[in-house]
Amino acid sequence: MSHVFAVTSAKGGVGKTTAALALSHGLARKLEQAGSKESVLLVDLDPQGHCAPCLGLQPERCAGELLLGHAHPEEIIIRADRSRQSGPSRPNLYLLPATGHLAIARMQLLADIVAEALLAGVGRLSPGQPSYLVKRLQDLFADLRQVFAFVVVDYPSPLDLFWEAVYHGVDGCIVPVKADYLSAKSAIEHWTRPADQKVEALVPTFVRARQVLSEQTLQELTRHFGSKRLSRPIPASVRVAEAPAAGGQTIFEYAPNSAPARAYWNLVERVYDSKV
């Protein structure tokens, strides 16, 4: 049984990519520790393509080619293992990378949805309507489910029609929320809609101990979502920001005993234990 998660949020700069990297690498390590031969795939659906450099990788091809049907997954997916180049060993972690090409692919796909709706005489596009893009993503995720035990999608804001199609295809969402007023407000406005049954966990990020605003934000999030849906807060820490800059390491490689590594590991175990 395979599981597909999106790490996403309506706001930028809240720690989505950081959480997607930690979650995918942590799940890969959990499988390894359990003696499993199964693998994890990190899918970068942000045209900024930051997952690759954060893992020390330099891809040439892009997830956009897959979405447009111009390539097969095995042509684009790369290994995150760098042990042969004297880098970190990640035997069961893989990346479907993004490059700037993804921005063009996204525009093309959204144009196709609008054209499809016009041809069908649909006056107004509704979220999750059966469309070419929903079908394409469902087919893609179905192919990936055959190969990987976990698929973790790094999905950027804005949460537009493209997101609606991705949302349709994933099993659950992990939502990082920065511990400040506007990030919490945006999370509360966006993720308490009736449609959001898929929220697996909200992850408070950039949390500062003994800072009044951080504490107030955590209380506000707990009040709205309940303590069960909140995962352990990730502290603000320069170690998190240093890890990708240190030759593309994850937090578990760069500072395995740090407070943020322990907090991310807690998220990994929560997701792993609920699914395996």
Ligand X SMILES: Nc1ncnc2c1ncn2[C@@H]1O[C@H](COP(=O)(O)OP(=O)(O)O)[C@@H](O)[C@H]1O
List residues binding ligand X (CB under 6 A). Answer: 12-18, 205-206, 234, 236-237, 240-241, 260
Residue type (1 letter), 54: C
Considering the complex, state which of residue 75 and residue 242 has its C-beta at the smaller distance from ligand X.
242
Residues in contact with 191: Cβ distance below 8 Å, sequence separation at least 6, in sequence order = 175, 199, 202, 225
Task: Count the alpha carbons within 13 Å of 67 in the hemisphere toward its beta carbon.
Answer: 30
User: Cα dihedral angle (151, 90, 241, 200), rounded to 10 degrees?
Assistant: 30
Q: For Mg ion, which residue has the nearest CB? A: 17
User: Does 136 contact Mg ion by CB under 5 A?
Assistant: no
Which of 57, 89, 95, 55 has the alpha carbon at shortest distance from 76? 95
Residue 205 interacting partner from Mg ion, ligand X, none (CB closer than 5 to 8 Å by kind): ligand X
Considering the complex, state which of residue 17 and residue 24 has its C-beta at the smaller distance from Mg ion.
17
Residues in contact with 252: Cβ distance below 8 Å, sequence separation at least 6, in sequence order = 22, 25, 26, 29, 261, 264, 265
Cα gap 131→258, rounded to integer Å: 45
Residue 234 interacting partner from Mg ion, ligand X, none (CB closer than 5 to 8 Å by kind): ligand X
Residues in contact with 102: Cβ distance below 8 Å, sequence separation at least 6, in sequence order = 44, 45, 46, 47, 49, 62, 63, 64, 67
Provide the minimum distance between the beta carbon of 242 and ligand X in the complex, in angstroms, as a whole number: 8
Angle formed by the axes of helices 161-169 and 101-119, to 10°? 90
Residue 255 interacting partner from Mg ion, ligand X, none (CB closer than 5 to 8 Å by kind): none
What is the CA angle 39-156-135, rounded to 5? Answer: 65
Residue 73 interacting partner from ligand X, Mg ion, none (CB closer than 5 to 8 Å by kind): none
Strands in 172-178's sheet, in edge-to-edge order, are 78-79, 93-96, 40-44, 150-154, 3-7, 172-178, 199-205
Written as six digits, the tokens of 44 are 């970068």
| Site for Mg ion, residues 5 to 34, rule: CB under 5 A | 16-17
Q: How far is CA 26 from CA 208, 237, 248, in A?
A: 23, 19, 15
| Interface contacts to Mg ion, rule CB under 5 A | 16-17
